[in-house]
Amino acid sequence: MIKLVSINLTLGKGTTLERHVLKDLSIHIADGEFVVLIGGNGAGKSTLFSLISGYRLSDSGAIWIDDQEVTKIPQHKRAAFVSEVMQDPKVGTMAHMTIEENLSFALMRGKRRGLTLHDCVKRRAFFREKLARLDMRLEDRMHELVGNLSGGQRQALALIMAIVGGSKILMLDEITAALDPKTAANVMRIAADVIREEGRTTLMITHNMADAIHYGTRTILLTNGQIGKCYNQDEKAQLTPALLINEFSMF
Ligand SMILES: Nc1ncnc2c1ncn2[C@@H]1O[C@H](COP(=O)(O)OP(=O)(O)O)[C@@H](O)[C@H]1O
Ligand SMILES: [Mg+2]
């Protein structure tokens, strides 16, 4: 469960760039929900993620994850709660380390949740099982350097790294934006499968309107740091990409 209560955040305070990015924003996301966030450039979507991850702290308001208030808890102490995958596959993975080393690193992040597997054989089997879901045969390449992988493979690996950390909340920020259309669709399908199987509470930012309609349990349109519109599953079923784009200018 994630609860944001009356969040305000101004960035660039005291400069000519000063901007009230999030305005009295309140959102409640239940366990296991898959919420898709859409909105124009600069709407505040990534900033909202940075508040949940703890990269930024809000000026006012409160953030709860389950029954713990995390409003003032710094990022490194929230790593066990939240994991994020970004647009650039290079950001989420380390090129000069092998696939297995990358996954071991991700596992370490989640160790406060008791997920550290000390036994090498068991750990490798755990990684193989997770990688096999990608259907990219990466489970047979665990000792290869990640720098050898394609963008799509690296992004899929970044997703698995976010999963093995064991955090309750998964945040995906335009994870397919840097990929070619075919790879993007493949990575999106894999992400949706993994989210469904793992039952993780998920927030996903996308500019792909078809994905925003097709995936997730709820879609939220963020406009100027506020919720412009919310669509539940029945409402999503009535939408088309053209209708959704039209809503951007109405809110
Ligand atoms: N350090 C900063 N100083 C001032 N404004 C900023 C800063 N960082 C981001 N912003 C502004 O905050 C707004 C929201 O940015 P962001 O959350 O990245 O938007 P989105 O992800 O929805 O495209 C944008 O207008 C951006 O220019
Ligand atoms: Mg963004």
185 domain residue, yes or no: yes
Which residues, by Cβ under 5 Å, contact ligand 2, an ion?
46
* Total number of domains in the chain: 1
- Distance of CA 164 from the midpoint of ligand 1 (Å): 30
Of 69-78, 109-118, 122-131, 149-158, minimum mean pLDDT range:
109-118
Going from the Cα of 167 to the center of ligand 1, the distance in angstroms, rounded, reads 26
> Which structural domain range is residue 132 located in?
30-57+73-250
What are the tokens at 195? 């989210």
With respect to residue 24, please indicate whether it lies within any of the assigned structural domains.
no
pTM of the model: 0.94
What CA–CA distance (Å, rounded) separates 58 from 25?
A: 11
| Tally of CB atoms within 10 A around 215 | 21
Q: Give the closest residue (by CA) to ligand 1 atom 4.
A: 12
**Which of 11, 48, 88, 203 for a ligand 1 pocket mutation test, highest count of atoms within 8 Å of Cβ?**
11
Q: Which ligand is nearest to the CA of 220?
A: 1
Instruction: Let me know if residue 103 belongs to a domain.
Output: yes
What confidence tens digit (pLDDT) does each residue in 117-133 have? 667 888 899 999 999 98
Per-residue model confidence (pLDDT) at position 57: 97
Q: How far apart are CA 126 and CA 144, in angstroms?
A: 17
Query: Does a structural domain hold residue 66?
Result: no
Identity (one letter) of the amino acid at 250? M
Task: Decide if 127 is inside a domain.
Answer: yes
Q: How far is the CA of 231 from the centre of ligand 1 (A)?
A: 24
Residues sharing a CB contact under 8 Å with residue 113, sequence separation 6 or more, in sequence order:
80, 166, 167
Helix runs in the chain, H state only: 45-53, 75-78, 89-92, 99-109, 120-132, 151-164, 181-198, 209-214, 233-237, 241-250
pLDDT recorded at residue 110:
67
Confirm whether 161 is domain-assigned: yes
Residue 152 lies in a domain: yes
Nearest residue CA, atom 16 of ligand 1?
44
d(CA 23, CA 44) in angstroms, rounded, equals 10
The CATH number given to whatever domain includes residue 103 is 3.40.50.300
Distance (Å, rounded) from C-alpha 81 to C-alpha 112? 10
Weakest-pLDDT range from 75-79, 153-157, 240-244: 75-79
Determine, yes or no, domain membership for 1.
no
User: Comparing 15-19, 131-135, 225-229, which segment has the lowest mean pLDDT?
Assistant: 131-135
User: Given the CA of residue 48, which atom of ligand 1 is nearest to it?
Assistant: 17
Give residue ranges with CB within 6 A of ligand 1.
11-12, 17, 19, 21, 39, 41-47
pLDDT at 190 over 50: yes
89, 151 Cβ separation under 8 angstroms: yes
Ligand nearest to the CA of residue 173, numbered in listed order: 2
